[in-house]
Structure 1
Amino acid sequence: MARRAGNMLARLHTNCRKANPVPYIRDDDQMRCGVPDEKVPWHVPWSSYDPEDYTMKHVLSQPVWADPVSLGGLKFNSLDGKVDRRSHTGVYELDSDEGTAGRPLNPAGRTGLKGRGTLGKWGPNHAADPIVTRWKRDESGNIVINPNSSKQILQFVAIVRRDHGVWAIPGGMIDAGENVNVTLRREFSEEAMNTLELEPGKVLEVSKQVDELFAHGIEVYRGYVDDPRNTDNAWMETIAYNFHDDSGVSVGAFTLNAGDDAIGVKWTDINKDLKLFASHSDFIKKVAELHNADW
């Protein structure tokens, strides 16, 4: 697959911290302390900074995708068995403070909350986001053009996830030892095409079209995600690929069907007014620029 990478550490993260105290995304009773812009970088001294240490109960119960509470034996900044603890952003630092020594430090800076929150891994939690696109067409099959910009309108597959109720790209976590290409196909097929509930014959038809489309993708982003789940010691990273159905006759012609973690799915017009989960709007903008589409 072709690659067009990028990184968002050049600007401050905002979705996972505010200047004033705010509740954590999954628990209204758990507050983040406020982190003003000038205090976000770790190199800026802040002797009184001592946010609460919080990891959700379902993570502490140690499901198969979660790390143990203890850091003992974990190999950060390296491939740790099947678990890739390397960051797309480069080498991250480890905390040296008493009581939290050895914990990975968020490369984007302070978030107002220690621990892992709802994330399973200490340090980077890797995901993959498939951005499937087609040109918007009228009833005659002609590509629709925005008269204000004189550019063609691009559409992408968007879903609403059960856990946060916001429109998003149908991505998901990369399993330990899993190739990112497998993750991309699986998440799109399960969440946007609902292959988990299709009849066997239909699954084969859908899978063939998805495989053909996903054989030719362009990487549009690889790096840190400004995600509301992030904490000082655990954060989201992703690899986002664009898979474009230029003719609209393969995946672009299928009826979308929400499944697995999704409760809604639709072809969505791409434009600057989109309100999407985490950093997804930034990824979509990159795709629009890639195709010289309306934005």
Structure 2
Amino acid sequence: MLNQRSILALVSSISCFRALNPSLSVAGKTRQSCYTSTEKNFSFNNKYCISTIIQTRGMHEKARCAIYPLKGQADPVKRFTVPNDKVEWSVEWTDYSPLEFTAPFVLTAVWADPPLDKKDFSPSWNSLDEKVNRKSHEGDYKIQDGRPLNPHGRTGLSGRGILGRWGPNHAADPVVTRWQRDGAGSQILNTDSGLPVLEFVCIERGDGGGWAIPGGMVDPGEKVATALKREFMEEAMDSTQASSEENAENSALVDKFFSEGTEVYKGYVDDPRNTDNSWMETVVMSFHDSTGDSVGKLKLKAGDDAKNLKWMAIDDTLTLYASHKAFVKKVAELLKAHW
């Protein structure tokens, strides 16, 4: 018999499957839009961009959501519908005609690549291009007509969308955890599995993308370890608004806590911002405090592009941004915690 969690997961799976196979219906009903951002340039106005489906290295789904997550356009940016059997580039599809789209603000941003036809711009694909890392964690990607191809297949949109780099756009995501405890300080065990319950530091994205791991982009020439600390301090400790004295104290605490971590994932991210020629990749690190003493010293506060922060209990009902649910599940498995 299906329990409530199984039913919720099944409904979510069916909903995302319908988004990618629009000719199908479930009881004749359709899903309505839910997220609209109040932030510049970015919005989540399609429920299929945020689901409870576990997705990492398999067929991407959120990268094919019907409406591209961009705010400020007079007309929504709609993807060319890509059914499951046409995702792979190896499948011939002569009728494939995706919209070419790169957001105007990307074309003028100092942190972004210029257009491919710009004079003197000759990127070195699949390599470290000066300070810009154009290597993929998943091996060499293909180049077609001078453009990198998304290693996970068609997305229904060409160009860069709102991503800065052609090819891989590298991020780093720290999963900071502790055991959930009762008032007496004892670990709380889940009544069904009998396993201890984990909590992780979770931020609510200011762009309307929902709850997520407090990570972000790796700057050109920056080491992943440095990016992990910087992004955590910016989004979970509000370092951009803190005083130099506060930042110095917080940095020392984070340096100590982040000195030992375990890599749980490195590769492609099923992200709604992805396109045929530009996509997200990340390195996910687990940082666990078994006693709760170290994280208890961290002065947590939502900052930068995060609008809320909380310790969130980990289980299979989580609904998180992009592939973050899959990353958190890997941490739970690593620590032999409830899921």
TM-score by length of 1: 0.91
Q: Please, which of 243, 246, 259 is the counterpart of residue 287 of structure 2?
A: 243
Q: Out of 163-172 and 113-122, give the one that drifted further.
A: 163-172
Secondary structure (helix, strand or coil) at the match of 1:223 reads strand
Q: Out of 112-121 and 197-206, give the one that drifted further.
A: 197-206
Q: Which residue of 2 aligns with 1:81?
A: 130
Q: Please, which of 19, 43, 63 is the counterpart of residue 16 of structure 1?
A: 63
Q: Please, which of 77, 80, 88 is the counterpart of residue 41 of structure 1?
A: 88
C-alpha RMSD of matched pairs (Å): 1.4
Q: Which residue of 2 aligns with 1:216?
A: 260
- How far did residue 164 of structure 1 move? 3.0
* Cα separation, 2, equivalents of 1:198 and 1:78: 37
Q: Which residue of 1 aligns with 2:116?
A: 70
Corresponding residue pairs, total: 279
Q: Out of 105-114 and 163-172, give the one that drifted further.
A: 163-172
> Any unmatched runs of 5+ in structure 1?
1-6, 96-100
Q: Deviations over 1:258-288 (max 9, x none)?
A: 0011101111000000000000000000000
Asked if the contact 2:262–2:287 (Cα under 8 Å) also holds between the matched residues in 1, the reply is: yes
Q: Deviations over 1:228-252 (max 9, x none)?
A: 0000000000000011111101124
* Cα separation, 2, equivalents of 1:107 and 1:198: 40
- How far did residue 253 of structure 1 move? 4.4
- How far did residue 195 of structure 1 move? 2.1
Identity rate of aligned residues, in percent? 53
Q: Which residue of 2 aligns with 1:115?
A: 159
Asked if the contact 1:245–1:252 (Cα under 8 Å) also holds between the matched residues in 2, the reply is: no
Secondary structure (helix, strand or coil) at the match of 2:203 reads strand
**Bigger fraction of residues in strand:** 1
1:175 aligns with 2:230: no
Secondary structure (helix, strand or coil) at the match of 1:186 reads helix
Q: Which amino acid aligns with 1:162?
A: G
**Bigger fraction of residues in helix:** 2
Q: Which amino acid aligns with 1:8?
A: T
* Cα separation, 2, equivalents of 1:146 and 1:206: 33
Q: Which amino acid aligns with 1:68?
A: P
Q: Which residue of 1 aligns with 2:140?
A: 91
TM-score by length of 2: 0.80
Asked if the contact 1:133–1:252 (Cα under 8 Å) also holds between the matched residues in 2, the reply is: no
* Cα separation, 2, equivalents of 1:229 and 1:165: 11
Q: Which amino acid aligns with 2:116?
A: S
Asked if the contact 1:134–1:252 (Cα under 8 Å) also holds between the matched residues in 2, the reply is: no
Q: Which residue of 1 aligns with 2:336?
A: 292
1:57 aligns with 2:104: yes
Asked if the contact 1:126–1:237 (Cα under 8 Å) also holds between the matched residues in 2, the reply is: yes
Q: Deviations over 1:53-92 (max 9, x none)?
A: 000011011x222000125411111111000101001010
1:157 aligns with 2:201: yes
> Any unmatched runs of 5+ in structure 2?
1-54
Secondary structure (helix, strand or coil) at the match of 1:182 reads helix
Q: Which amino acid aligns with 2:155?
A: T
Secondary structure (helix, strand or coil) at the match of 2:77 reads strand
- How far did residue 155 of structure 1 move? 0.5
Q: Which residue of 2 aligns with 1:3?
A: none
- How far did residue 162 of structure 1 move? 1.3
* Cα separation, 2, equivalents of 1:14 and 1:178: 30
Q: Please, which of 24, 29, 32 is the counterpart of residue 79 of structure 2?
A: 32
